[in-house]
Chains A and B, each alone.
Chain A
Amino acid sequence: MCLAIPMKVKELYEDGFGTVETDGAVYHVNLSLTENVKCGDFVIVHAGFAIEKLNKKEADTRIALFKEMAEMGGGKLKLES
């Protein structure tokens, strides 16, 4: 139920709703629980509502951390379902 995923904001409407997209699929969602969202931002969507805006700087820091760990070396562990 809480497996919300990041979706990219396409359009913002005046009534607090907007459209978001992920992998080519477009959804109409309510954005009233978020603040300062612009088109092109990523939001976390759950049950038709954006519950939070993704902090791109924190996301990039995280990805950089994984790259650093990868460089510490010692093989590959592929986690696939």
Chain B
Amino acid sequence: MKYLDEYRNPEAAAYIGRKIKELAAYQKRSIRIMEVCGSHTMAIARYGIRSLLPENVELISGPGCPVCVTEPGYIDAAIKLAQKGIFIASFGDMLNVPGSKLSLAECRARGAYVETCYSPMRAVEIAEQNPDCEVLFLAVGFETTIAPVITTLNIAVNKKIKNFSMLTAFKLIPPAMKALLSDPEIKIDAFLCPAHVSAIIGAKAYEPFIKENKVPCVIASFEPVEIMLGLLGILQQLRDKEARIENQYARVVKYAGNPKARGIIDLYLRPVDAAWRGLGIISESGMELKPEYKKYDASKRFGIEIKKGKTDSKCRCGDVLKGKITPQECALFSRNCKPANPVGPCMVSAEGSCAAYYKYCKK
């Protein structure tokens, strides 16, 4: 299946572009559509989707990057543990995120054991190969990542691995969407919903939110033509004064999602209030390990508290994450804050808004 060619049909893209212009003109007002997925942020920037849209259709990037919404205090806690000699395994884009003082990369440069992993399974391998060493995985992610990480934990539990734990900062997308919608300064008319989070939670997970808030939502893949088709779907709902979940990624996303993934998540985790960088505390928007698994919870195992931490006073990642400003509206963007020396996480992460704008939209 040469999926790239078929999904990038240029004639179909032209047709969709025309239809978007027609429906946008019908609206006669500005439409603000938020996406809450870093992969959408990147694809929209990379393919210049904004430049193809009529002026009254505005695409806002929301808090779609789990690394970007992690408080600096989490990095500080990880660094404290690294400085005690604990082996830290992490997804790569956490390494250069500044904590209150240092990043994990700087901590590694000073002699700490910090290794990047593509998969959390690597952390379990390290723990098995080094039984005398405490190994900790930095478990940061949304629903798409929570499932693989917890499946990994399940493997570690079944193998009775005694030297493995996780410092969790799991976050959930639907509660964040609700919090964003309730902020009167942000003004969102519709959501483009994340592809692979939706694969886990299912299209039905958005229904209570839509019933309460009457906001059109479309699940779309990261292919540029499909993003445009997703936007068209939103404009069609707005024209028809509808508000429902439209699943435009049915080849992967099922109505009920992935029950195996949700089952294993429910086995190990329970909902908890969580602090989101830039958004504050959102009720039941995080997940923590249940008390019976506390020996795998690094915060309890090592008695460490995750505090808020400090950010640079000029950093505006919080406003970028809420879609209140674009990255270019931050005074530090592309001046003091660049990928090589980032001030905030939105410039560091592979899916951060500022990184996307820096790479594709700087001029």
Which of A's residues lie within 8 Å of B, judged by CB? 1-4, 6, 8, 30, 32-35, 42, 44, 46-49, 51-52, 54-56, 58-59, 61-63, 65-67, 69-81
Contact = CB atoms under 8 A, between A and B. Distances in A.
A3 to B, nearest CB: 4
For the complex of A and B, the 10 pairs showing the least CB-CB separation, nearest first, are A48-B119, A70-B11, A49-B148, A58-B251, A77-B13, A76-B10, A77-B14, A69-B12, A66-B12, A79-B224
B251 A62 contact: yes
Nearest to B194: A2
B9 A67 contact: yes
Taking each of B13, B194, B222, B349, which has the highest tally of chain A beta carbons within 10 Å of its own beta carbon?
B13
B45 to A, nearest CB: 9
Contact of A79 (B8, B15, B121): B8
A49 B151 contact: yes
24 contacts: A1-B141, A2-B38, A2-B196, A2-B351, A30-B148, A33-B151, A34-B260, A48-B120, A48-B121, A49-B147, A54-B251, A59-B3, A66-B12, A67-B9, A67-B12, A69-B12, A74-B14, A74-B15, A76-B13, A77-B52, A78-B13, A79-B13, A79-B225, A81-B360
Given A51-B258, A63-B6, A66-B7, 10 more contacts: A1-B65, A1-B349, A2-B37, A2-B144, A6-B3, A33-B264, A44-B199, A52-B199, A66-B6, A66-B225
Contacts of A71: 11
A7 B51 CA distance: 31
B347 interface: no
A73 B49 CA distance: 20
A63 B200 CA distance: 23
Given A47-B118, A79-B224, A1 B13 contact: no
A78 B119 contact: no
A2 B260 contact: no
- Secondary structure type dominating chain B contacts: helix
A57 to B, nearest CB: 8
Q: How large is the interface on B (under 10, 10 to 19, 20 to 34, 35 or more residues)?
A: 35 or more
Contacts of B224: 79
B1 interface: yes
A39 to B, nearest CB: 15
A33 B251 contact: no
Nearest to A53: B252
B261 A33 contact: yes
Contacts of A52: 196, 199, 252-254, 258
A4 B195 CA distance: 9
B3 A55 contact: no
B265 to A, nearest CB: 10
B145 A46 contact: yes
Contacts of A65: 12
B64 to A, nearest CB: 9
